[in-house]
Structure 1
Amino acid sequence: MDVDGGRRMFQRLGPSSSSDNSSNNKQQKVCFHWRQGKCTRYPCPFLHSELPTGANGGKRAHQGFGAEDNYRGGGGLRRSGNYNFSNSNTWGRVQSQQPGNSNRTVVKKIEKLCNHWVQGSCKFGDSCKFLHQWSTGDCFTLLAPLEGHQQVVTGIALPSGSDKLYSGSQDETVRVWDCQSGQLAGLINLGGAVGCMLSEGPWVFVGLTNLVKAWNIQTSTELSLNGPVGQVYSLVVGGDLLFAGTQEGTILAWKFNVAANCFEPAASLKGHSLAVVTLVVGGNRMYSGSMDHSIKVWSLETLQCIQTLSGHTDVVMSILCWDHFLLSASLDKTVKVWAATETGNLEVTYTHTEEHGILTLCGMHDSEAKPVLFCSCNDHCIRVYDLPSFSERGKIFSKKEVRSIQIGPGGLFFTGDGSGQVKKIGTVSTVLHMEHLVQKPGRFT
């Protein structure tokens, strides 16, 4: 096979003949489109069969589609090869093996969403080599796509006692959705890109540039919390304080004054050299992840940094508290599991590696109370893992990378991606059952 001008040219079948005309020469070539499974001509002037061995200088005329034919085609689960765990825990250890699958090879499609199918224009149907489904693993059902945002969705909030969903985007709007019908119930123009969102009790907080907006959906109170410098990327509530991670690397704290019905500045936590992009509270500690590749551990009692974790080599995008462990995800393509030593300091006990940078983590329990991890990567895919083995149980695909995941009541959860689409997704009740189905009262009531 020769490459001539980007087109594959094949030698003719059989001996040459002076009586062959140009039309016959054409008919002795293998159809390029047929090889890719997308020839639509009938009849086609080219061959829909392979040339025999020897017709091309003794070499095979065609070797198939290459590595894509067996893309993860072994049928087994892809697991990290890094088993850096201690004997005292089982992170990364496979808990069970499926019987009867050791010698079975399963031919799978390329695990990538078909863009034409998403747009409703794929003409290949079941023969398409890309996926025509939003998820794998038979665990999830797309209930409704919520369309309207024009840019990446950076935050999703479900206020307590409300039947509305709030989504914020870099298109400078917050959209309010009816959770039952999926219809747009309100639109708020903010005049600035939304960096993050948080709901706590009846309050909805929105991180903007140099500002945090706060709405009480019960009293219709609207407040502006000043003090941040640059974009606010992360928000969390710890104790009776609201914390905001800012672009300049400072974490600001406010305390709610019930009598005055306002938020008063309480503290300014400094230590990070670059933007704080993720905050989480666990027990009496707060954890902050930053663009400076570090994680800082803060005491909620003293508001002092008590430890700096330096295991990642790129931006720490998401942190999750799980039982006695801390999970951190980074653009360095790893999820690290941290555990406390005898001295009380956190150390890495296991590292899980992905093929792409990781954007956000979200945890839940299935119907058997087993922990499950959602791991969103920048290849437009959320991988769902059993913990602590990190065995993959399914995938959820989106138009673009998923930046926001929010657990809802009744086995629902919501995702927001880079295209501006919000998805309402349900779990199969016999397989997954969301933790925290009943939302707890907020601290600011």
Structure 2
Amino acid sequence: MDIEAVERYGNRRIQHRIGSSQAAPDRGNSKVCFHWRAGRCSRFPCPFLHSELPQHSDGGAKRAAGADERGFRPQGLVWRNSNTNGNSGPPSRWGKGRGGGAAGGVRPQRKTLDKICNYFISGTCSYGEGCKFLHSWFLSDSISLLTPLNGHQKDVTGIALPTGSDKLYTGSKDETVRVWDCQTGQCVGVVNLGGEVGCMISEGPWIFVGVPNAIKAWNTQTATDLSLSGPTGQVYAMSVGNEMLFAGTQDGRILAWRFRAVGDCFEPAASLVGHRLPVVSMVVGAMRLYSGSMDHTVRVWDLSTLQCIQTLTDHTAVIMSVLCWDQFLLSCSLDKTIKVWVATESGNLEVTYTHQEEHGVLALCGMHDAQAKPVLFCSCNDNTVRLYDLPSFNERGKIFAKEEVRAIQIGPGGLFFTGDGSGELKVWKWLTSEVPAA
């Protein structure tokens, strides 16, 4: 694949590392910091506790908070262990603590002005610091904006960081893939594809780009350049599992290719038929493929047989994103809900919690914060991305964008990326210690 160079660039890879948060001092008392509860303590070290008091001597406070020592595993859905002795376990923890103080260690709800100035968004506000609305791209004491990356002219639809590369790749509806140097933040190459990028993912050194009627694939280490034919119409979603590449297409099929190390190539393996409308979201976890469609359903496919084993019909609009978290499946939709699914003893998925939003939900992404706590990113069609603590769904913060954010990607060392409908890409980082929001 020909890359049009933009300028000379080095070959150094930037190292973004977040060290462990500094250990809290031995405060010698059991009083919880009032300012910490309000989310604005600036003392370090603080003489009071920055955590809630344990509720049980046997460690029950951690369980009450819904904490999970295994943490966030976006690609690791694990079915419920049958040896649970009837304990309902994690499903009862979803949504606990919302709107009800800080019991169990959950984060108190933020109370501050969060309406962003529309003139600030367009760069034309004449009030400056005297404006009564927010002049910031985010509202959170846990993240910082490192830099915007400008270059795309239309929606950013995919972000990829292939293994072993010191470059960031982004795809857009402007029919290009841009290559960014991680050291300088400069665009160092542009790939013109001749068709809108519907999605883009990376797996190892490979990058896969979904375009109308094809998938473009290239290996960033060997420079192998492939074009996989078979899709009809736009490719909206892709995922990798069991040494196969899956692509959701505009005609409702899911096409599968099997990777062959000999020859460094992909061979057609199957065509999964079941959805009646375009497949727009997919994720793989624990030998299952989950596909979301415009037909309002999520289908569950067994990767060993490539057969559909369950169809989830609880949503009432297009399934925009699906995500695996520990033993749960999360799905979001334009019906303004996020649903949390868990397997019953029979193996079928059922809804264990439904989170309501005020707007349609476009994308989900999950990662750890700097303190190793799981956080869910939820992009909505009001041009915002909400951050939620899991499993409580207490709001952690908010990111604002010029237009809808369709692409969110986790990076190394606490980095993450968002791409919006205006073509702007932003680079963010988790803070090692929280600071009061401006």
Shorter chain as denominator, the TM-score bin is 0.7 to 0.9
Give runs of aligned pairs for residues 10-29 of structure 1, distance below 5 A: none
2:158 aligned with 1:152, yes or no? no
Asked if residue 97 in structure 1 is aligned to residue 101 in structure 2, the reply is yes
Alignment-mate amino acid for residue 185 of structure 1: V
Quote the offset at 1:98 in angstroms.
4.1
1:16-74 Cα offsets, whole Å, 9 max, x none, are xxxxxxxxxxxxxxxxxxxxxxxxxxxxxxxxxxxxxxxxxxxxxxxxxxxxxxxxxxx
CA contact 1:411–1:429 (8 Å) conserved in 2? no
Distance 1:165 1:283 in 2: 28
Task: Specify the SS of the correspondent of 1:342.
Answer: coil
Worse-superposed segment, 368-377 or 195-204:
368-377
State how 1:11-410 maps to structure 2 within 5 Å.
89-94=92-97, 97-98=101-102, 108-109=112-113, 111-410=114-413
Q: Is the 8 A contact 1:209 1:230 kept in 2?
A: yes
Q: Deviations over 1:269-289 (max 9, x none)?
A: 000000000110011111000
| Runs of 5+ consecutive residues of structure 1 not aligned to the other structure | 1-74, 77-85, 433-445
Tell me the SS of whatever aligns to 1:162. Answer: coil
> CA separation in 2, counterparts of 1:179 and 1:242?
27
Structure 1 length-normalised TM: 0.74
Between the aligned partners of 2:138 and 2:383, the Cα distance in structure 1 is 12
- SS in structure 1 at match of 2:423: coil
- 1:196-228, Cα deviation, whole Å (9 max, x unpaired): 001011110000000000011111111000000
For 1:382, give the aligned amino acid. V
* Residue 362 to residue 268, structure 1, CA distance change in 2 (3 Å): same
Instruction: Supply the RMSD in Å over aligned alpha carbons.
Output: 2.1
Q: Per the alignment, in what secondary structure is the counterpart of residue 359 of structure 1?
A: strand
Using the TM superposition, give the Cα deviation of residue 126 of structure 1 relative to its aligned residue in structure 2, in angstroms: 2.9
Question: Which letter maps to 1:97?
Answer: G
Instruction: Identify which of structures 1 and 2 has the higher relative contact order when contacts are C-alpha pairs closer than 8 Å and 6+ apart.
Output: 2
Contact 2:109 2:394 (8 Å CA) reproduced: no
Distance in structure 1 (CA, Å) of the matches to 2:339 and 2:111: 32
Change (3 A) 1:105 1:238: closer
Note the C-alpha offset of 1:427: 1.1
Offset of 1:346 from its aligned partner? 0.4
How far, CA to CA, are the matches of 2:242 and 2:380 in structure 1? 31
Q: TM-score, normalised by structure 2?
A: 0.75
Aligned residues: 344
Q: 1 CA distance for matches of 2:150 and 2:214?
A: 27
Partner SS, residue 423 of structure 1: strand
> What per-residue deviation string (whole Å, max 9, x for no partner) do you get for residues 77-110 of structure 1?
xxxxxxxxx88521110187249xxxx999843x
Whether the 8 Å CA contact 2:369–2:414 is kept in 1: the answer is no
More divergent stretch after superposition (87-96 vs 210-219): 87-96
Q: Deviations over 1:122-175 (max 9, x none)?
A: 121233232101111211111111101111000000010111110000010000
Task: Provide the C-alpha distance between the structure 1 equivalents of 2:277 and 2:196, rounded to a whole number of angstroms.
Answer: 19
